[in-house]
Amino acid sequence: MGQWFPKVVHILKADGSALPLIERPIVRMFLSGQAISEKALYLTKKGKTVPVSITVSPIILDGRPVGAVQVFRDITVDNEIDRMKSEFISLASHQLRTPLSTIQTYAHMIDDDYMGKVNNEQRRALRTILGATNTMNELIGMLLNIARIESGRITVNSKRLNTSALVQDIARQQSIVASNKNISVQLRLPKQAATIKSDVLILKEILLNLVGNAIKYTPPDGKVILAVKEHPDTVLFMVRDTGIGIPKASQERIFAKFFRAQNVIRQETSGTGLGLYVVKGLVQTLGGSVWFKSTEDEGTTFYVSLPKIYRESAALRASPAEL
Partner 1 sequence: MARILVVEDERDLNAAYQMILKKAGHTVDSALNGQDALKIAEKFKPDLILLDLLMPIMGGLEFLRHYDLDKQTDVKVLIFTNMENSPEVNEAYNLGATRCIIKSWTAPQSLAKVIDDVLAKKAA
**Interface with partner 1 (CB under 8 A):** 94, 97-98, 100-102, 104-106, 108-109, 112, 114, 133, 137, 141, 144-145, 148, 153-155, 157, 199, 201-202, 205
Least distance to partner 1 from the beta carbon of 300, Å? Answer: 26
Quick one: 212 or 222, whose CB is closer to partner 1? 212
Indicate the residue among 110 and 189 with the shorter CB distance to partner 1.
Answer: 110
Tell me if 14 sits within 8 A of 40, measured CB to CB.
yes
Closest CA to 168 of 195, 192, 196, 188: 188
Minimal distance, residue 133 CB to partner 1, in Å: 8
For residue 27, the minimal CB distance to partner 1 (Å) is 37
Looking from the CA of 17 toward its CB, the CA atoms found within 13 Å total 6
Of 153 and 160, nearer to partner 1 (C-beta) is 153
294 bridge partner residues: 300
Q: Sheet holding 10-13: strands in order across?
A: 10-13, 36-43, 49-61, 64-74
| Nearer to partner 1 among residue 202 and residue 215 (C-beta) | 202
Identify the DSSP state of 46. T
Question: At its nearest, how many Å lie between partner 1 and the CB of residue 157?
Answer: 6
Q: Say which amino acid occupies 142.
A: M
Q: Name the minimum Å distance from CB 115 to partner 1.
A: 9
Residue 18 CB, shortest distance to partner 1, in Å, is 28
- 170 to each of 36, 91, 92, how far by Cα in Å? 39, 29, 29
Closest contact distance (angstroms) between CB of 140 and partner 1 is 8
Which of these, 56, 50, 37, lies nearest to 80 by C-alpha position? 50
104 vs 251 by CB, closer to partner 1: 104
Distance, CA of 131 to CA of 134 (rounded, Å): 5
CB pairs under 8 A, 24+ apart, for 290-297? 290/206, 290/255, 292/246, 292/251, 292/254, 294/245, 294/246, 294/251, 295/245, 296/244, 296/245, 296/246, 296/247, 296/248, 296/263, 297/244, 297/245
C-beta closer to partner 1: residue 148 or 216: 148
Closer of 160 and 293 to partner 1 (Cβ): 160
